[in-house]
Amino acid sequence: MPIHPIDFRYGSPEMKAIFEEESRLQKLLDVEAALARAHKKVGNIPKEAADIISKNATVDKVKLSRVKEIENEIKHDLMAVVKALSEQCGEAGKYVHLGATSYDIIDTANALQFREALEVVVKDLYTLEGVLLDLAERYIDTVAVGRTHGQHATPITYGLKFAIWARETRRHIKRLQQMKERVLVGKMTGAVGTQASFGTQGPRIQELVMEDLGLKAVMVSNQVVQRDRYAELISMLALIAASLDKFAKEIRNLMRTEIAEVSEPFAVDKQVGSSTMPHKRNPINCEKVCGLARVVKSNVFVALENVALEHERDLTNSSPERVIFPESFILLDEMLKTMIKVLRGLVLFPDNIERNLMMTRGLEMAEAVMIALVEKGLGRQDAHEMLREISMEAYKKGESLEEALKKDSRITQLLSDEEISKLVDPHNYIGTAIEQVRNVLEVSRRERIS
């Protein structure tokens, strides 16, 4: 009976399949089979035995139900896998798990699981980046009011906003690629890391197992792969979640009735916004992203706590890792796919964008006038104070900045009416925004090809 929402509500079938019990079991069996083949290559076990172990190390032969049955008896999950595999291998079963400790198998299987899951995350990040680049290009010259501290600032373009998000997404792709060499590692070092159980062949066995599985071997470990590696992984997933939280929060704020510049997609034919208010069009997808981000980010604390295990290891990492690994990946997967859907269907309302741009009647253009006065020879601080006084007075009287400027002799002796009218037009004050977006498009699309 499903309990956790990731069982029935969140995550794609593709990502969830990676963390299903049978998938996990198969990865454990893959490591056991690779270990047997390594022993064969160094001459520790007969070739026939290694072949039998490899042939039977599949969930078709080693049933999950049998593993659980054994675990209920012996109260050890990995040893239950070992016994179930050994049962299928006859006489060759005596060579299963030779020299290994449980976490040689578990942590190496973790790396196999992480590798598959990260491929899904990176694929979604590439898709997200592509959607953002398309939006940046489409709205490259759509001028809107910028906001700082929740107040109207100077103008920005929607193209610049989306370009900023695209580059943030690209940085996540790079971080994940750079992180793989530290996180996608396995080990065959035995009970406390000395490889004593493998004899003099320990380094070679570890090398062969990792080559077989396509992983990098740790240089040194104790009974476990050191958890700073996993803490980095969960932190990177949380960092991606934080960016998605940021994107979704911005869309939510821009969807506010009083702002109404954008809207996430809404199926007007059938979608219900509220159980009691029929008119509602709530930003439920973006709110879901923001909400799930809290869970993913909170898992970083758990991962950091797992770093400080006692001596050569204790078991306090085991139970929380069963939760935070699948949860972080599956919830992030849900967030990524939701944000892609939102951005693909994002609606912009040009009339409302223009309305908000002009809402303060030109007050957001005070900086532009200040800069112009400096260019006319006025000191920067003097120009700032002058514009501050004029802006506050205009705000108090309900005048436009243009009106206030044109009746102030301090201004009119330096600027003509035509110059003032041009300066207070927000469409004329977007600096290099368009050039910056074009540069982002050029660089990003080149990176996507390489």
The strand pair at 216-217 and 185-186 is best described as parallel
Q: Are residue 304 and residue 182 in the same domain, yes or no?
A: yes
Amino acid occupying residue 331: L
What three-state secondary structure class fits 413? Answer: coil
Amino acid occupying residue 400: S
Q: Is 439 part of a structural domain of the chain?
A: no
Query: How many domains, the chain?
Result: 3
Q: Are residue 216 and residue 88 in the same domain, yes or no?
A: no
Q: What average pLDDT is seen over the chain?
A: 95
Per-residue pLDDT tens digits for 62-74: 999 999 999 999 9
Q: Is 445 part of a structural domain of the chain?
A: no
Per-residue pLDDT tens digits for 105-132: 999 999 999 999 999 999 999 999 999 9
Amino acid occupying residue 109: A
Catalytic residues, by residue number, are 149, 274
What is the structure's pLDDT at 128? 98
- Which of 78, 95, 112 is the last residue before a domain boundary? 95
Q: Are residue 90 and residue 136 in the same domain, yes or no?
A: no
What is the structure's pLDDT at 204? 97
Q: Are residue 163 and residue 287 in the same domain, yes or no?
A: yes
**Which CATH number characterizes residue 371's domain?**
1.10.40.30
Q: Are residue 38 and residue 172 in the same domain, yes or no?
A: no
Question: What is the Cα–Cα distance from 219 to 161, expressed in whole angstroms?
Answer: 43
Lookup: tokens for 176: 């994940």
**380 Cβ partners below 8 Å, 6+ apart?**
370, 374
Q: Which helix (H) or strand (E) holds 266?
A: none
Q: Is 287 part of a structural domain of the chain?
A: yes
Q: Are 176 and 336 spatial neighbours (Cβ–Cβ below 8 Å)?
A: no
Q: Are residue 331 and residue 400 in the same domain, yes or no?
A: no
Q: Cα torsion for 431, 437, 440, 443, to the nearest 10°?
A: -100
Q: Is 377 part of a structural domain of the chain?
A: yes
Q: Is 324 part of a structural domain of the chain?
A: yes
CA quadruple 365, 167, 140, 258: dihedral positive or negative?
Answer: negative
Lookup: tokens for 262: 């954008």
* pLDDT(1) > 90: no
Look-up of token digits 């797992």? 306
DSSP structure class, residue 224: S
Q: Is 382 part of a structural domain of the chain?
A: yes
For 159, the domain range is 102-356
Q: Are residue 218 and residue 278 in the same domain, yes or no?
A: yes
Count how many Cα atoms sit within 13 Å of the Cα of residue 272 in the half-sphere of its side chain: 4
- Which of 95, 130, 162 is the last residue before a domain boundary? 95
Q: Is 322 part of a structural domain of the chain?
A: yes
Q: Are residue 322 and residue 339 in the same domain, yes or no?
A: yes
Q: Are residue 341 and residue 405 in the same domain, yes or no?
A: no
DSSP structure class, residue 218: P
Q: Are residue 44 and residue 174 in the same domain, yes or no?
A: no
Q: Are residue 165 and residue 242 in the same domain, yes or no?
A: yes
**Which CATH number characterizes residue 88's domain?**
1.10.275.10
* pLDDT(3) > 90: no
Q: Is 277 part of a structural domain of the chain?
A: yes
**Which CATH number characterizes residue 250's domain?**
1.20.200.10
| pTM tops 0.85 | yes
Per-residue pLDDT tens digits for 410-450: 999 999 999 999 999 999 999 999 999 999 999 999 999 98
Question: What is the Cα–Cα distance from 195 to 19, expressed in whole angstroms?
Answer: 30
Question: What is the Cα–Cα distance from 183 to 15, expressed in whole angstroms?
Answer: 18
Q: Are residue 19 and residue 120 in the same domain, yes or no?
A: no
